[in-house]
Amino acid sequence: MKLKELDKFKKTVKIIRIILIAILAFIIFGIIGLILWKNYQLKEIDIITDNTKYGRGDYLRVRIDNKKEDVICLSTRIPYYFQIKSGVSWQEYNYKNLGDQDLIIKCIDPGKFKIFELVVPSVESGIHRLSIPACISCNLGKAFREDKRFFSNMFIIE
C-alpha cells in the first residue's frame, strides 16, 4: 500500500514540475516577446545634436539616423524648426523666412544617416529642441507632404 502511495506522490510531483516549467517558460517567452515588440515599436529615427549647450551664432551639427524600414525625406524649405520649452509643452517658431517651393530634396535610406550643420539663430534663451517634419517613402523632386514629425534631443541656447 505504501508503494502505491509513493508512486502516486511521485507522479503528482512530476506533473507539478511540468506545470511550473510550462508557466515559467510562458513568462520568459512573454517577457522576451514584449521587449522585442517594444523595440520594434521604437524603431524610428534618432536625431542627435553634437552638444547640449549653444550660444547664438554657434554651429550646431545634427545627425539624423533612419532606423525605420522606409525612406524618410526632408523639405527644401527649412528641414527643421526650433521649439522652445514653455512649462510642460513646446512652442514652435519660425526663425527665418521660408522659401516659396516646398519640394523633397534630401532623403535618408533605411539604416543610413545624414548630418546637417546650421547656425544657431538669435532666439530666446532656454531649453530647445529641433522639430523635423518628414515625408515617409516619398520621391525626390516631388511636392513635400508632412507624414510625421520627429524631434531631437533637448539642448540649451544661452
Q: What is the DSSP string of 58-111?
A: -EEEEEEEE-SSS-EEEESS-S-EEEEEETTEEEEE--SPPPS--BEEEEE-TT
**Residue 41 confidence (pLDDT) above 90:** no
Enter the DSSP assignment of 76. Answer: S
pTM: 0.68
Q: Identify the burial level of 103 via C-beta atoms within 10 angstroms of its C-beta, where 0-12 means exposed, 13-18 middle and 19 or more buried.
A: middle
* Residue 136 reports pLDDT greater than 60: yes
The reply to whether 58 and 122 lie within a common domain is yes
The residue count for the chain: 158
Cell numbers given for 20: 511550473
Give CA separation, 122 vs 39, 58, 82, 106, 126, in Å.
38, 10, 11, 26, 12
Same domain, residue pair 60 and 122: yes
Q: Tell me: do 85 and 131 sit in the same domain.
A: yes
Residue 128 pLDDT: 95
**d(Cα 141, Cα 91) in Å, to the nearest integer?**
30
Q: Are residues 51 and 128 in the same domain?
A: yes
Question: Hey, is 28 helix, strand or coil?
Answer: helix
- Its domain, for residue 115, covers 45-157
Considering the domain architecture, whether residues 60 and 33 belong to the same structural domain is answered as no
- Identify the pLDDT of residue 20: 93
Q: Are residues 14 and 52 in the same domain?
A: no
3-state class of 52 per DSSP?
Answer: coil
Mean pLDDT of 108-135: 91
Other beta carbons within 10 Å of 47:
19
Q: Are strands 53-54 and 155-157 parallel, antiparallel or unpaired?
A: parallel
Nearest to 134 by CA among 101, 95, 108: 108
**Total number of domains constituting the chain:** 2
pLDDT over 70 (residue 96): no
Which pLDDT value is given to residue 97?
60
At 8-24, the pLDDT tens digits run: 888 888 999 999 999 99
Lookup result for grid cell 507539478:
16
Lookup result for grid cell 539642448: 155
Least confident of 18-27, 42-51, 126-135: 42-51
The mean of the pLDDT values for the chain is 86
Residues 136 and 125 in one domain: yes
Q: Are residues 129 and 142 in the same domain?
A: yes
What pLDDT is stored for residue 156 in this prediction?
96
